Structure 1
Amino acid sequence: MAANNVAGRGKTVPEILALAFGAIYLLVGVVGFFVTGFDDFFAHDTNETLLGFEINGMHNVVHILIGVAGLVLGRTLAGARTYGWLLAVGYGAAFIYGLLAINKEWDFLSINTADNVLHILTAVVGLVIALLPVRNAVDSRTTR
């Protein structure tokens, strides 16, 4: 039986990080709709912020999708690793997009500098989730 499927096995650090980031992003996406409402999903320069991060409806949807993915994929180590790569690549691309899109009319996610900082940090966390070495759990019952 693979280590990923052993009943009673504790969560690894990558799994915990994937679940935590999933929960945080899901919460941010849901709370974001209390700030933006549900109209004009692709508004540019909304001046609607959540903790200093500019958002619009589409930005909220992306956060919800990233959050749900973390909660679903974070249940296994293989899933958490996949989520880590999705964060690294997706948020790395979002960082590059943000560098190009800030203050442009075509910025459909309404990105600001704080968003860019968060995006590159999330990409780094994704790499940690994807690449962090994990020790196999030792069951003391089998060593006697």
Structure 2
Amino acid sequence: MSVNITHTRGYSHVQKAAIAFGAVFLLVGILGFIPGITTNYDMLHVAGHHSEAQLLGIFNVSVLHNIVHLIFGVAGLLMARTLTAARAYLIGGGVIYAVLWLYGLVIDRDSQANFVPVNTADNWLHFVLAVAMISLGVTLTRRMTATADSTATQPPQ
């Protein structure tokens, strides 16, 4: 009995996750510049804690914050091209968001240190993003790394 296996170029699960996160960050960056979706749009500042603009009326944003989302989104879409880069984007991005979460917890929100700016909703979103991105980056590539390890340890035939 002969089995014919055809290989089609598709995206792996980790690449799809990187595309999804990249697309969402890109969308969030764009929405941050749209009055109505961003409340108090007239209070949107370039950077700093004085920006009172809020995406969806919940998350503090500034021009800098929106640009960071746009860049992070484009990075996700570009890095999704390869499995290794997609994994690095998810895990590395998750680590960045974990650091931002911790940073948001320790800074005085009314000080110059809050240059992004962040509020409580941002902090907890950063925490959720950190957990989700790291978890997906690790779990969606666990099989890949296990296969690579077992192939490396098997003697040639």
Query: What TM-score do you get using the length of structure 1 for normalisation?
Result: 0.80
Task: Give structure 2 stretches of 5+ with no counterpart.
Answer: 1-6, 145-157
Equivalent pair of 2:13/2:140 in contact (CA under 8 Å)? no
1:50 matched to which residue of 2? 55
Amino acid in structure 1 at the alignment position of 2:99 = A
Deviates more, 1:70-79 or 1:44-53: 44-53
User: Matched residue of 1:97: which SS?
Assistant: helix
Shift of 1:86: 1.9
Greater RCO (Cα-Cα under 8 Å, separation 6 or more): 1
Amino acid in structure 2 at the alignment position of 1:64 = L
Aligned identity (percent) is 37
Give the distance between the partners of 1:102 and 1:75, measured in 2 at CA.
39
Shift of 1:116: 0.7
Task: Give structure 1 stretches of 5+ with no counterpart.
Answer: 1-6, 137-144
Aligned length: 129
Give the distance between the partners of 1:89 and 1:133, measured in 2 at CA.
17
State whether structure 2 residue 135 is matched by structure 1 residue 132: no
2:4 matched to which residue of 1? none
Q: List per-residue Cα deviations over 1:23-58 (Å, max 9, x = no partner).
A: 010111111122447x73113142211121111111
Q: Given the alignment, which residue of 96, 118, 121 partners 1:114?
A: 121
Equivalent pair of 2:18/2:90 in contact (CA under 8 Å)? yes
Equivalent pair of 1:14/1:128 in contact (CA under 8 Å)? no
Equivalent pair of 1:18/1:84 in contact (CA under 8 Å)? yes
Amino acid in structure 1 at the alignment position of 2:71 = L
Q: List per-residue Cα deviations over 1:106-127 (Å, max 9, x = no partner).
A: 1101101110111011111221
Equivalent pair of 1:18/1:73 in contact (CA under 8 Å)? yes
Shift of 1:98: 0.8
Query: What TM-score do you get using the length of structure 2 for normalisation?
Result: 0.73
Shift of 1:102: 5.0
State whether structure 2 residue 79 is matched by structure 1 residue 79: no
